[in-house]
């Protein structure tokens, strides 16, 4: 055995030991008459407190199972999972939000729902879930997980600025260029203080769908170079043509230096009620940021802007109420010791199987979008929507069949990175042809998908 092999073996053993330590490093006592369910998740901060609250409610709701959480923040959850599976000591349940379902299922690391639940329960789940929530975990005709919350992207806009300029929410991509020109602000020294709007180079996934494109066909052939997606990328690139790639890149870089990762739609100083953009694409979690900012400014006696939310505007031949959807989902590793307990907790959290009231409490506590209309329709959730009107648009968009995730296929993480890279390259290099960029990326992605699939 070589020194390198010995070193790798030692590292693997240490990693497995760390994983095992994570399992049992807990002061929680498990009731003797309960079956323990080990649950790995990635949440931290105040979201971790919400998760702990959900677990307590589940544990108090019945007398058969007892869920114990293990927080696994960071980017190496997949390594820890495969080490735990290899070591014969996987958790019973994990939660993920990366496009890894097909890769993990393809490698035999996940149990499909039909090995956890009855055929009737699996079919109930298919019918009960929003289409977007179902698509996130479907691979090879089987469901390999259960989505527990959706992430939807829409456009936030500064309603106060719109009123000042007599503008309406954008109804087409062309409207966004007009907003970019009309609501941008340059100071007396020629420095840009605000952009009306700029496309996010990482969001070609969303705009490609909105323009009517599909990134993959039914035969798993990559179609990222289809005409609609080329058109979407050319539209995104047009903002760099209009304002200059260097200025666009520099302004975007400035967003990264904002204190505390502040939402750049919001004010960054006391002197102005407006932020660095008049319109920006983001997810439903920003509703909470807006509410906090408005409250803080009211208490400080400062001017407070009003905000609105609208769907991504489509061109005439595009898709209405469309976009890229992501979400969190439960997965059960192969080798899990307590499948029944994992399934029971999954249903409690999501609302499946008559747990809609429990799921309502969960979604309100976390500010999360439900995965079923049955939960949305609950009285308590409707009351929550009345108190958070900006959240309503995201919930309504979640029910749209035009909200489409990254394809659930082996190689999806690579697919995701390549499409984001294409958007970034197009925004900084005006000599780059959108068609050529997408054709080249499609070839690379297809090769990777074919290779991983074998």
> Collapsing DSSP states into helix, strand and coil, what is residue 283?
strand
| 6 domain-assigned | no
Same-domain pairing of 263 and 180: yes
DSSP 3-state assignment of 40?
strand
Mean pLDDT along residues 80-104: 88
Q: Specify whether 110 is located in the same domain as 245.
A: no
Q: Establish if 317 belongs to a structural domain.
A: yes
Stated as kind and residue range, the H or E segment containing 362 is helix 356-366
pLDDT at 5 over 70: no
Which region, left, alpha or beta, applies to residue 411 given φ > 0 means left and ψ of -120 to 50 means alpha?
left
Average pLDDT over residues 1-18: 46
Of all residues in the chain, what percent carry a pLDDT higher than 70?
A: 93
User: What is the reported pLDDT for 299?
Assistant: 95
Do 153 and 135 meet the contact criterion of CB atoms below 8 Å apart?
Answer: no
User: pLDDT by residue (tens digit) across 420-440?
Assistant: 999 999 999 999 999 999 999
Q: What is the pLDDT of residues 314-333, one digit of tens each?
A: 999 999 999 999 999 999 99
Task: Indicate whether 126 and 264 sit together in one domain.
Answer: no
Q: Are residues 398 and 449 in the same domain?
A: no
User: Which of 210 and 268 is assigned the larger pLDDT?
Assistant: 210
Residue 4, domain member (yes or no): no
Note the pLDDT of residue 11: 46
Instruction: Give the global pTM.
Output: 0.91
- Tell me the pLDDT band of 213, cut-offs 50, 70 and 90: very high
For residue 31, give both structure tokens: 């009731």
Query: Is residue 125's pLDDT more than 60?
Result: yes
Q: Which residue has better confidence, 186 or 348?
A: 348
> Residue 259 carries which DSSP code?
G
Question: What is the per-residue pLDDT across 136-165, written as a single tens digit (0 to 9) for each?
Answer: 999 999 999 999 999 999 999 999 999 999
List the domain range (segments joined by +) for residue 183. Answer: 152-322+407-453
Indicate if the pLDDT at residue 19 is higher than 60.
Answer: no
If one counts the domains in the chain, the total is 2
CATH code, 205: 3.40.190.10
| Residue 106 and residue 92 share a domain | yes
CB atoms within 10 A of CB 12: 13
Mean pLDDT of 91-114: 94
Mean predicted confidence (pLDDT) in 296-301: 95
Does residue 70 sit in the same domain as residue 94? yes
Q: Predicted confidence band at 337 (pLDDT cuts at 50, 70, 90)? A: very high
Say yes or no to pLDDT of 260 above 90: no
Q: How far apart are the first and last CA of the chain?
A: 30
Query: What mean pLDDT is predicted for residues 2-27?
Result: 45
């Amino acid at each position: 055995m070589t020194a390198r092999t010995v070193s790798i073996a030692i590292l693997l053993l240490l990693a497995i030991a760390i994983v095992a330590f994570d399992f049992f490093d807990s002061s929680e006592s498990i009731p003797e008459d309960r079956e323990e369910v080990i649950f790995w998740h990635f949440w931290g901060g105040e979201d971790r407190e919400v998760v702990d609250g959900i677990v307590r409610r589940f544990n108090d709701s019945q007398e058969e199972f007892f869920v114990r959480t293990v927080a696994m923040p960071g980017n190496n959850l997949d390594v820890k999972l495969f080490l735990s599976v290899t070591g014969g000591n996987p958790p019973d349940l994990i939660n993920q939000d990366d496009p890894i379902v097909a890769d993990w299922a393809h490698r035999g690391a996940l149990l499909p729902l039909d090995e956890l639940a009855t055929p009737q329960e699996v079919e109930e789940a298919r019918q009960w879930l929003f289409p977007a929530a179902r698509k996130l975990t479907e691979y090879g005709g089987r469901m390999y997980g259960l989505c527990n919350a959706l992430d939807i992207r829409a456009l936030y806009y500064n309603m106060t600025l719109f009123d000042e300029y007599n503008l309406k929410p954008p109804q087409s991509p062309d409207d966004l260029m007009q907003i970019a020109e009309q609501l941008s602000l340059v100071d007396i020294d020629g420095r840009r203080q605000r952009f009306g709007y700029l496309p996010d180079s990482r969001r070609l996934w969303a705009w490609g769908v909105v323009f009517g494109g599909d990134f993959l066909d039914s035969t798993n052939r990559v179609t990222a170079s289809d005409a609609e997606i080329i058109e979407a990328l050319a539209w995104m690139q047009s903002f760099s043509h209009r304002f200059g790639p260097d200025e666009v890149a520099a302004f975007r870089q400035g967003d990264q230096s904002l204190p505390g990762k502040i939402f750049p739609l919001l004010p960054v100083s006391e002197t102005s009620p407006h932020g660095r953009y008049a319109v920006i694409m983001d997810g439903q979690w920003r509703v909470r940021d807006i509410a906090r900012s408005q409250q803080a400014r009211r208490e400080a006696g400062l001017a407070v802007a009003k905000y609105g939310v609208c769907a991504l505007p489509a061109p005439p031949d595009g898709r209405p109420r469309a976009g890229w959807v992501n979400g969190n989902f439960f997965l059960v590793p192969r080798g899990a010791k307590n499948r029944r307990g994992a399934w029971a907790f999954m249903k409690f959290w999501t609302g499946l199987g008559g747990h809609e009231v429990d799921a309502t409490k969960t979604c309100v506590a976390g500010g999360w979008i439900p995965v079923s209309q049955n939960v949305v329709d609950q009285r308590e959730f409707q009351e929550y929507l009345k108190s958070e009107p900006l959240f309503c648009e995201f919930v309504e968009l979640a029910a749209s069949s035009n909200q489409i995730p990254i394809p659930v296929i082996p190689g999806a993480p690579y697919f995701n990175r390549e499409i984001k890279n294409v958007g970034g390259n197009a925004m900084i290099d005006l000599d780059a042809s959108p068609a050529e960029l997408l054709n080249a990326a499609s070839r690379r992605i297809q090769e990777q998908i074919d290779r991983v699939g074998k």
